[in-house]
Amino acid sequence: MKKNKGAKYFRLILAMLIPIVGAMPLAASKADAQQSLDTVLSEVAGFRAEMWYLPDEELLGFVEIPAGTFLMGSNPLIDPMAFENERWSEGRRQGIVDLPTYYISRYEVTIAQFKAFADATGYRVNPMALQGPLNHPVANVSWTDAIAYARWLEARLKESAQTPAPLQRLLNNGWRVSIPNEAQWEKAARGSEGRLYPWGNQPNRDKANYSGSGTRAVGSYACPECQYGLHDMSGNVWEWTRSPYQPLPFDPSDDRSNLAEDALWVMRGGSFNDAENNARTAVRGAADPGARRPFIGFRLVISSI
């Protein structure tokens, strides 16, 4: 009889404990979930979730670069840090390039944007590419990943009713979403005045994320001096271009020459991991198109190529 009574009390205590113990981790996980939701929301503030996390701007973050000429390449007399591969030709240090109007994205492509692509398509990405705060530039992406993302986004923008009319018009007229070629990138970075850095001719660590320890959220560095209002054209991550690596002068029509050579594609702008010499607007890096590195990302362009 006593034994039965003891068992009854034991069961009662257990019954009381179960909801308390059960609720504890639940409460903790609710708090965690709220916190993580808040973090995510803060990371994607300023970006439109329904538009694949493109910037909440009139042209979804695409900035017009007006038609006109600019000075490409480096003059070592003005820029002592210039590398040999920035020389225009045997006879000339720099060249003048005339480009038609194009649109380039204000920010580097973010992890949120690339994740939207990966989730929608099942595209196989390096898992490292999707790690980190959502508003940081995506890295660990190859040149082919960048092209795949651009192709996907173009199709989405074409079919979406929410795509701003000017963009929709451009795309309907045969303009393409891609990654910039070298000249498009360099003009957008240095402007029409031939600057060594996007903000001027002197290095300035307050203007860009270089000589640092890791990526920063895109647009973290204000650059009112930058001619076209673009962010992170210096530093944060190197940016893929759609130009094969070959000696200047730049010629957009010679992409299909030297097909017998092993492929190397130009990347621009330096990264958090580089010193000021690689953060210059004329620097020409190159990488294997399959390379996925924590310091290489990309940005987009819409042009009539």
Partner 1 sequence: MLSATGKPRSQGQDKNKNTAGAPQSEQPQVLTSKQLLFVPSLFTLAFFLLSFLPRVQGNEILVRSFWAATAVLVVWQIFMILQCRRTGETKSFILAKPRPQHYIQAMVHLSVYTYWGWYWPPVQEHALLLVAQLLFAYAFDMLMAWSRRDSYLLGFGPFPIIFSTNLFLWFRDDWFYLQFLMIAVGFMGKEFVRWKRDGKSTHIFNPSAFTLGLFSLILIFTNTTDFTWGPQIASTLSLAPGIYTYLFLGGLVVMYFFSITLVAASAAAVLFGLSALYYAVTGVPYFLDSEIPTAVFLGLHLLVTDPSTSPRTPPGRLVFGILYGLGVFALYTILSAFGAPTFYDKLLCVPLLNLSVQWIDRAVQSLRDNSTLDRMGLGVVPSRRANLAHMAVWIVFFATMTLIGKTDGKHIGDSLPFWELACQEGRPTACDRLLLLQSTYCSDNSGWACNELGAHYASGRIIPADPDRALTYFARACELRFQAGCVNLLDPSTISRTEPRVFDLRLLLRQGGQNLMDMPESELYARACEHEWAFACSNIVSTL
By the criterion CB under 8 A, which residues form the site for partner 1?
A: 142-144, 147-148, 151, 178, 242, 244, 255-256, 258-265, 288-290
C-beta of 32 vs 255, nearer to partner 1: 255
Q: How far is the CB of 299 from partner 1 (least distance, A)?
A: 16
C-beta of 150 vs 208, nearer to partner 1: 150
Q: How far is the CB of 107 from partner 1 (least distance, A)?
A: 23
Half-sphere exposure of 35 (CA within 13 A, CB side): 6
Q: How far is the CB of 209 from partner 1 (least distance, A)?
A: 28
The answer for 210, left when phi > 0, alpha when psi is -120 to 50, beta otherwise, is: beta
CA-CA-CA-CA torsion sign (119, 123, 124, 129): negative
Q: Looking only at Cα atoms, what is the longest distance across the chain?
A: 108
Tell me if 204 sits within 8 A of 239, measured CB to CB: no
Q: How far is the CB of 263 from partner 1 (least distance, A)?
A: 4
**CA-to-CA distance for 140 and 131, rounded, in angstroms?**
10
CA dihedral of 82, 300, 305, 230, whole degrees rounded to 10? -60
What φ, ψ does residue 25 adopt, rounded to 5°?
A: -65, -30
- Of 104, 86, 83, give the one whose Cα is nearest residue 95: 86
C-beta of 144 vs 202, nearer to partner 1: 144
C-beta of 81 vs 147, nearer to partner 1: 147
Q: How far is the CB of 59 from partner 1 (least distance, A)?
A: 24
C-beta of 91 vs 174, nearer to partner 1: 174
